[in-house]
Structure 1
Amino acid sequence: VAAFAALVSAVFGRWLRALPSPQLALAVGFSASAVSVFFFSFLECATKGAYLMAAETLWFTIGQAVLAVSFSHKGTRFLYVVWGYIILDMGGWMGLCQVYWSTPFKRPSEHLTLCLFLAVVVPVLRLKNTWGARKLLRADQRRYDALWESLCASEDSRACIVHLEKVVQMIGLDDSDFCRQHNRLRTDKLPPVQRERFMRELSAEAHRAVYPVFLDLGHWYVPNRPALDSPVRSCNQLYAQAAIANLLLRERLKVWASASQGMFCLCGEGSHSLQSSYARWNDIKGNPQAIARLQWAKLKRHVRTFEKLIRSYQGKPSRLVDITRHNIVFETMTDLTNCLGNIITDENVRVDRLKNRLSTKYKSDETAGYRDVCINLRVVNREAKGLGAELHMCEVQLLLKSFAELKTSDGHKRYVIARNAWAR
């Protein structure tokens, strides 16, 4: 019954939202089986003195319970539980066979057969899916890798790449996975000594920015100070902050592009034109017609956000650090490096993470050959603090024009499909 319910859910779940997920159906089915066997078989055998039969039914119940737990997990944890059960069941069943028939190999275990089937078939299907995803991106990766090899073949370009690596190393920001979205720090939850210190550090302007009701309740939120034990748990909050941070970040992008010969994407002329081009901000900032054609990146679509939450981030919104994302395009590595320096030294933002994919040490397989310098930062100027968006993490990509011209919407769709296939 559980298998049939899982099959129905897998086939018709897209149209019938009320159906449970296939994993949930299997977990409930095995749980019900374990409960029924325990109450109707094990207890009866135990009360009637059939202890060997009771031991067998108890072992069967444990197997059903372990399978129910395994189906309640996702990704590789499912296989870990299954393999753990295989080892446990093999030892226990061999012991029962030794007691019954004086040989541990008299009769195979039904649970063991099922689990071995799952433990072998699931990894094989996953490998097949992963191989198909890599095959999907193979042509795109060849083009990106060929472009990268041509850049590395030039002595001037290679010198710029090495210089960029040294600059990134000097900055000292790694690409660790600790970057998260956090709420503001509440000082009333701190020990009294630390609370007094924070309150003394608050300026008169910041103190006036605290809503009077919060002051009366003793809830003091300190601007620009994240509470590391309070991650953002609401997608609505993230998108509200992203809408503000997106507008403020655009203004900083213009400043950085102006100081480093950066370019932005322009849509084609005419309402039906699909061609796009790149233009330096210094060349178009005085041209209202050209500014109207700027293609600013939109906030991440809700569909893609929930895909990442479910497939990659275990349902934790605090790990979404690219709802607000933009890019600046450059002709040369020198301009890109200069822009990176301008961003790092800009007091209006704070950089929290830096990924240098334009490095000879970077493994391009992770992004199907695509390379850029990816920066996670927060806009921390007065406007952001006043609007409550100074802790919102944004993403800025610095990329070469040659890579930007190879990047297409179809290629990005293929990458999203492949990334979903790789998700654990």
Structure 2
Amino acid sequence: PLMWIVKAQIAEGGVWQTVGASVWRGYGTLARFLPHSAYSVPESTSAIENTLIHVDMRPNWPWILTEVGTYAVAGVLWGTSCFSGLTRRQRAAVPIVSGLFGINSILQAAAALGHGSAGDWRASVEGWMNGAADLVMALALLIDEQLILPAFLIFGVICFLTLVVQHELLYEESGNLLSAAMTSSAFISLLFTTGLVAFRHRALYSARLLVLADKASYDEIWSTELDDPAMLSALVELGSLVQELAMQSVAKPLQLNRLCTSTVARTLNQATAQGSGNSIPWLSGVLERATSIPVNSFAAFSESLSDSLGDCVVDGAVDYLRPVDSLDQLYCQAIALNPHLIAKVQSWALCSRGCFISTATAAAGNREKVETTASAAEHGYCDCENSRLSSGFVLWRDVHEQEQLVGGQVQWAKVKSVHRSIEKCTRSYGKKVSHLLDICRQSIYFDSIAGVAACLAAISSDPDVLISRIKNRFDPSLNSDVSAGFRNLAVSLRIMTTDTRLLGVDMHICEVQLLLIRMAAIKNDEGHKRYILFRNLRGE
């Protein structure tokens, strides 16, 4: 290996300036000479005296790709991304930025190949490492934008390792490592990631403080429940039942479509033409009336539904590879399924002594704490018959006949608001609407865990029901910090009856929540507002 340097004078008696060296790097319009690094002479050279080394300091095409091309691509695409945000085309920003990093990774790889073919192995190693960092960012954004935080971390680490390799191994410039690192993309990326993580933990801490008093109230009730030996026995029974049903349920349930067949497509088209109950115009009208959302453009709305419903069968097989991707479809199904779910929760509450929220309480907007009698405590059920309005809950067994005759006794849950569905879908599910399993939901309230277990047994034994998932927040080993101390049991299920099949909603997954009255009774508007802030701070 040779180590050499070439100096020249502009004029006689002038200052000698370095114009060449054994190793050099290009920086923009400047050249940085590194005479302390060795230049490898080809093995075919027999004598140093006969060796001519030509130093061409003109910019070559690999240098142009990395020092000009990557910056030009970044400038154009970053500007395009900002413009898409200003013009309310935010969805285009992710593929644009992903393309930016993808194109730059290709340019870096091409430059690395060029440097390698020219014998500049140092610049080649540099290019491959920079290309790997850009490729990580491109793939993360392309696969799932929620991976952006770990991608930034990996990007920063690779960029920092590239700097270390450059200064410590390739060019032996240890003295410049710190200054180079402080002005590099590695430092910016790691600083940005660290800041996001710090702010995230600060938000989680603020969220926990916000609901600390509410959590203490729920935890106090839960501790009282656990002190009861009968309650512990019921918890063991409930846990065993949940574990047994969990083995039969789906690991990751989704809202799915059915396989498409031409026969059923013709049937649905005929139904649409005849204006039957399964027609898209009828569904759009139902959605507008139930959600108070005006359907201003029927053509666009109909096209959206047609993409999801127009060629789906009613009695066909499930297409596990085609999850529902239309929020319109989910809401039409949820609205059509809701009356059938109400009928089901009524039957389950009847056989398990379940309670519902009374209309008087819903109108007043207040739920006072339940005061059970000694008789109720002895039997483990709420004495809703004697405290119908003061407790805020009614025992379904006592009011079901009157409810069926005249109605107005129970406040049934409505479908989830569109605003909350979009919020949850965006924050938690990466804009995948097929993960929304609780648009159609109802709740049943019990005075004891024994009632919850009895109701779950009734649900599991119902031949019209297929359980998809169970979330058991009554598990004593569960950390209740995520739910701010509130505990319940949520059952995601499908109702498969003749009527739901005819409506095409037997595939729609809905949710039934089983709750303790003592916990539900202390909920109030102020506490709910705090919980919404808690949820917003957590990004849920």
- For each residue in 1:257-304, what CA deviation from the matched residue of structure 2 results, as whole angstroms up to 9, or x when unmatched? 122211110132796x33351001121123359831421111111111
CA distance in 2, matches of 1:187, 1:26: 37
Query: Deviation of residue 387 (structure 1)?
Result: 0.6
Q: Which residue is 1:349 aligned to?
A: 465
Supply the AA of the counterpart residue of 1:261. R
Q: Which moved more, 1:227-236 or 1:65-74?
A: 65-74
CA distance in 1, matches of 2:134, 2:345: 55
CA distance in 2, matches of 1:174, 1:403: 29
Change (3 A) 1:115 1:332: closer
Change (3 A) 1:27 1:105: farther
Query: Deviation of residue 242 (structure 1)?
Result: 0.4
| Unpaired segments ≥5 residues, structure 1 | 189-206
Paired residues of 1:136 and 1:414 also in contact (CA < 8 A)? yes
Query: Deviation of residue 92 (structure 1)?
Result: 2.3
CA distance in 2, matches of 1:139, 1:5: 47
CA distance in 1, matches of 2:260, 2:408: 42
Change (3 A) 1:295 1:17: farther
| Unpaired segments ≥5 residues, structure 2 | 1-74, 271-310, 368-391
TM alignment of 1:181-196, pairs within 5 A: 181-186=255-260
Supply the AA of the counterpart residue of 1:359. D
Supply the AA of the counterpart residue of 1:155. P
- 1:387 maps onto 2:498 in alignment: no
Match of 1:183, SS state, is strand
- 1:114 maps onto 2:205 in alignment: no
- 1:404 maps onto 2:404 in alignment: no
Change (3 A) 1:160 1:290: farther
- 1:241 maps onto 2:333 in alignment: yes
Query: Deviation of residue 420 (structure 1)?
Result: 4.0
CA distance in 2, matches of 1:180, 1:33: 35
Change (3 A) 1:234 1:268: same
- 1:280 maps onto 2:395 in alignment: yes
Query: Deviation of residue 23 (structure 1)?
Result: 7.0
Change (3 A) 1:347 1:17: farther
Change (3 A) 1:25 1:335: closer
Match of 1:367, SS state, is coil
CA distance in 2, matches of 1:253, 1:364: 26
Paired residues of 1:262 and 1:330 also in contact (CA < 8 A)? yes
Q: Which residue is 2:267 aligned to?
A: 211
Paired residues of 2:444 and 2:513 also in contact (CA < 8 A)? yes
Count of aligned pairs between the two proteins: 394
CA distance in 2, matches of 1:251, 1:344: 16
Which among 320, 323, 333 is matched to residue 228 of structure 1? 320
CA distance in 2, matches of 1:344, 1:180: 19
CA distance in 2, matches of 1:409, 1:369: 17
CA distance in 2, matches of 1:88, 1:5: 25
Q: Which residue is 1:193 aligned to?
A: none
Which among 222, 230, 239 is matched to residue 165 of structure 1? 239
Match of 1:122, SS state, is helix
- 1:418 maps onto 2:510 in alignment: no
CA distance in 2, matches of 1:413, 1:306: 19
Paired residues of 2:137 and 2:155 also in contact (CA < 8 A)? no
Match of 2:209, SS state, is helix
Q: Which moved more, 1:104-113 or 1:93-102?
A: 93-102
TM alignment of 1:103-182, pairs within 5 A: 103-107=173-177, 108-109=180-181, 110-173=184-247, 177-182=251-256
CA distance in 1, matches of 2:264, 2:188: 66
- 1:301 maps onto 2:301 in alignment: no
- For each residue in 1:125-169, what CA deviation from the matched residue of structure 2 results, as whole angstroms up to 9, or x when unmatched? 111111111222212211111110000011222222222223323
CA distance in 2, matches of 1:184, 1:25: 30
Q: Which fold has the larger relative contact order, with Cα–Cα distance below 8 Å and residues 6 or more apart in sequence?
A: 1
Q: Which moved more, 1:52-61 or 1:404-413?
A: 52-61
Paired residues of 1:374 and 1:398 also in contact (CA < 8 A)? yes
Paired residues of 1:300 and 1:322 also in contact (CA < 8 A)? yes
Query: Deviation of residue 234 (structure 1)?
Result: 0.8
Instruction: Report the structure number with the largest CA radius of gyration.
Output: 2
Paired residues of 1:235 and 1:317 also in contact (CA < 8 A)? yes
Supply the AA of the counterpart residue of 2:332. A
CA distance in 1, matches of 2:479, 2:461: 28
CA distance in 2, matches of 1:270, 1:409: 12
Q: Which residue is 2:274 aligned to?
A: none
Q: Which moved more, 1:327-336 or 1:75-84?
A: 75-84
Query: Deviation of residue 59 (structure 1)?
Result: 8.2
